[in-house]
Amino acid sequence: MGAGPAGLTAAYELTKHDVPVTVIEKDPSYVGGLARTVEHNGYRFDIGGHRFFSKNQEIEDLWTEVMQDEMLTRGRLSRIYYRGRFYAYPIKAFNALWNLGPVEAVRCLVSYAYAKVRPIKNPRSLEDWVRNQFGWRLYSIFFKTYTEKVWGISTKELSADWAAQRIKSLDLGLVIRSALLPKRKPRDRGEIVTTLIDRFRYPRLGPGQMWERVTSILESRGRPVLMGRTILRIEHRGGLVRTVVARNDDGAVEEYAGSQFVSSIPMRELVRLLEPAPPAPVLDAANKLGYRDFISIALMIDRPDLFPDNWIYIHDPSVKVGRIQNFKNWSPDMVPDQTKTCLGLEYFCFEGDGLWTMDDAALIDVARKELAQLGMCPPEAVFDGVVVRQQKAYPVYDDVYQARVQVIRDYLAKSLPNLHVAGRNGMHKYNNQDHSMMTALLVARAIATGSALDPWKVNADAVYHEDIRVGEKDLSGRQVPERLAGVSR
Ligand SMILES: Cc1cc2nc3c(=O)[nH]c(=O)nc-3n(C[C@H](O)[C@H](O)[C@H](O)COP(=O)(O)OP(=O)(O)OC[C@H]3O[C@@H](n4cnc5c(N)ncnc54)[C@H](O)[C@@H]3O)c2cc1C
């Protein structure tokens, strides 16, 4: 169920083992899910730019196997834009203070000194923790606005733990030394990996090209992906799932019987589709899983070159846009005409809120005006635009999501052992393609070979760890802020 990276990887692996598969996808035309590439009049754009980078060599090899010489290696440039100036990302204190100018730099230093002399005792919120480390002014410029844009939650309500794990504290002595002394070579593998992230791979025609290719390979193996199928129910009997019932684009209802089922559709949806319905606590746990949604507005602009970054983080509080992608800088072939540019303005939102329900023309107008307001391009240079709304772009990690996911996992494992979950929303894990693919590979191998591989033991770096125990926090990589216990929206 689902033809995103997880569903397609599972099918690709299963067909390698000669296991017959059927892939059902609700989108009428695009494969790739969140990693699809949308096309509009020859302009191609992602739902958020997708870097192909993994610490898991097997996944890197799989990308190469499918893409061959269509995979580009690109340099990464992604800066922060704030009040008309660009700042290095990750933030470098000297560069930040220099760019802010002497008056603001002095204010930042005074506020930093004040925070050091008068720290907030026992900081609980992200706001308190970052303010203690950087001072209020640097915090409000570089952390507050963007974090709140992405998660739609005040930084007062987010837990300090996330910041403590992810954000390096500021040592002004070190800042001054590193500004004056020549750069040394990286010392260890960790530093080299960090440097490597400055380069990433990217399919010539965007991430969707990878998934279009996998779909063609499946077709050549006699297993075409069935598009435009909306799942109506997942029927089970006697402790096993028996049939998936879907409606196709023509309105006809179809039934797909099987012996093993892999779901990469959002966990909340999966549980709701089960028939008979699961026990109330399982349904309740699923209904309370939260998501952050996303709108990408692609604007076609009559300019050959606007900025050199792949993407820019917009910290400016006067606009709603959170990030701007420049797809031509990911791959020149993302635009049909090199005298033009295609930017993707990204807005983080909740399904049904003011932005989500705005009509497309109004959204394009907002994007065009914000671009002009940021001083990036005059409104009359924008000659076309298209809006893509993406539900459930980010699974939300609140303080109780793990317990809810556990209730669902336990139920599925005990009551429906032939129903397997894989992927990002399939497992409610805020991870990249490599993680989704690795979980799907393991599920497929377990089905094909009968081995006891467990996709829940894949960590955020897409590495399979036999020793991750249930309930243990995986601190190896991508972490997201968690809402403070007792704070509700
Ligand atoms: C803004 C953004 C930027 C990202 N950047 C990167 C990046 O730089 N690098 C990277 O590696 N990853 C990135 N990711 C993450 C990456 O997109 C995901 O990890 C990956 O797409 C997850 O794959 P999946 O198959 O698990 O889920 P999805 O991609 O969500 O695919 C699920 C599929 O199931 C289908 N589906 C859902 N419900 C049903 C239903 N009821 N019936 C039938 N089909 C259904 C959907 O249409 C979809 O095609 C990014 C994600 C976002 C949102």
- At 483, the pLDDT band (50, 70, 90 cuts) reads low
Radius of gyration from C-alpha coordinates of the chain: 23
How is residue 482 written in tokens? 């968690």
Q: Name residue 71's amino acid.
A: M
pLDDT tens digits for range 191-247: 444 434 588 999 999 999 999 999 999 999 999 999 999 999 999 999 999 999 999
pLDDT tens digits for range 140-152: 988 888 888 888 8
Residue with tokens 């640097």: 138
- Spell out where 341-468 has E strands: 341-349, 382-395, 419-421
CA of 32 to the centre of ligand 1 (A): 7
Percent of the chain at pLDDT above 70?
A: 88
Distances (CA, A) of 365 to 149, 288, 312, 320, 327: 20, 34, 20, 13, 20
- Residue with more model confidence, 122 or 66: 66
How is residue 242 written in tokens? 């028996």
| CB of residue 37 inside a 6 A radius of ligand 1 | no
Whether the pLDDT of residue 306 is over 60: the answer is: yes
Q: What is the ipTM of this complex?
A: 0.99
| CB of residue 160 inside a 6 A radius of ligand 1 | no
Whether the pLDDT of residue 76 is over 80: the answer is: yes
Bridge partners (DSSP) listed for residue 306: none
Residue nearest to atom 3 of ligand 1 (CA): 48
**pLDDT given for residue 472 in this prediction:** 40
| CB of residue 51 inside a 6 A radius of ligand 1 | yes
Q: Are strands 419-421 and 261-263 parallel, antiparallel or unpaired?
A: parallel
Measured between alpha carbons, how far is 392 from 405 in angstroms, rounded to an integer?
Answer: 16
| CB of residue 203 inside a 6 A radius of ligand 1 | no
* Mean pLDDT for the chain overall: 89
CA of 442 to the centre of ligand 1 (A): 18
CB 212 within 8 A of CB 8: no
Return the CATH architecture of domain 5-34+58-67+203-277+398-457: 3-Layer(bba) Sandwich (3.50)
Q: Pick from 73, 175, 356, 396: which is nearest to 266 by CA?
A: 396
For 395-404, what is the mean pLDDT?
A: 86
**pLDDT given for residue 436 in this prediction:** 96
Residue nearest to atom 26 of ligand 1 (CA): 423
Measured between alpha carbons, how far is 313 from 25 in angstroms, rounded to an integer?
Answer: 32
CA of 87 to the centre of ligand 1 (A): 30
Spell out the residues 6+ positions from residue 306 whose beta carbon is closer than 8 angstroms to its own: 326, 341, 343, 376, 377
Whether the pLDDT of residue 418 is over 70: the answer is: yes
Q: Which atom of ligand 1 is nearest to the CA of 431?
A: 19
pLDDT tens digits for range 346-359: 999 999 999 999 99
**pLDDT given for residue 434 in this prediction:** 95
**pLDDT given for residue 57 in this prediction:** 94
| CB of residue 133 inside a 6 A radius of ligand 1 | no
For 435-439, what is the mean pLDDT?
A: 96
CA of 33 to the centre of ligand 1 (A): 4
CA of 478 to the centre of ligand 1 (A): 16
Whether the pLDDT of residue 174 is over 90: the answer is: no
Q: Which atom of ligand 1 is nearest to the CA of 9?
A: 25
User: Domain residues of the chain, as ranges?
Assistant: 5-34+58-67+203-277+398-457, 92-193, 291-395
For 397-408, what is the mean pLDDT?
A: 89
Measured between alpha carbons, how far is 371 from 378 in angstroms, rounded to an integer?
Answer: 8
| CB of residue 4 inside a 6 A radius of ligand 1 | yes
| 430 φ/ψ angles, rounded to the nearest 5 degrees | -80, 75
CA of 56 to the centre of ligand 1 (A): 19
Instruction: Average the pLDDT over each of 11-15, 75-79, 194-198, 226-230 and give the range with the smallest value.
Output: 194-198
Q: Which atom of ligand 1 is nearest to the CA of 435?
A: 19
Whether the pLDDT of residue 157 is over 90: the answer is: no
Q: Which atom of ligand 1 is nearest to the CA of 2?
A: 34
**pLDDT given for residue 446 in this prediction:** 95
**pLDDT given for residue 468 in this prediction:** 44
**pLDDT given for residue 204 in this prediction:** 98
CA of 9 to the centre of ligand 1 (A): 12
CA of 35 to the centre of ligand 1 (A): 5
CA of 122 to the centre of ligand 1 (A): 38
| CB of residue 25 inside a 6 A radius of ligand 1 | yes
Whether the pLDDT of residue 167 is over 70: the answer is: no
Residue nearest to atom 35 of ligand 1 (CA): 2
- Residue with more model confidence, 348 or 462: 348
Measured between alpha carbons, how far is 193 from 57 in angstroms, rounded to an integer?
Answer: 13
| CB of residue 263 inside a 6 A radius of ligand 1 | no
| 291-395 to CATH, choices 3.10.270.10, 3.40.50.720, 3.40.1410.10, 3.90.660.20 | 3.90.660.20
Q: Which atom of ligand 1 is nearest to the CA of 27?
A: 47
Whether the pLDDT of residue 367 is over 60: the answer is: yes
How is residue 4 written in tokens? 């995103």
How is residue 10 written in tokens? 């599972």
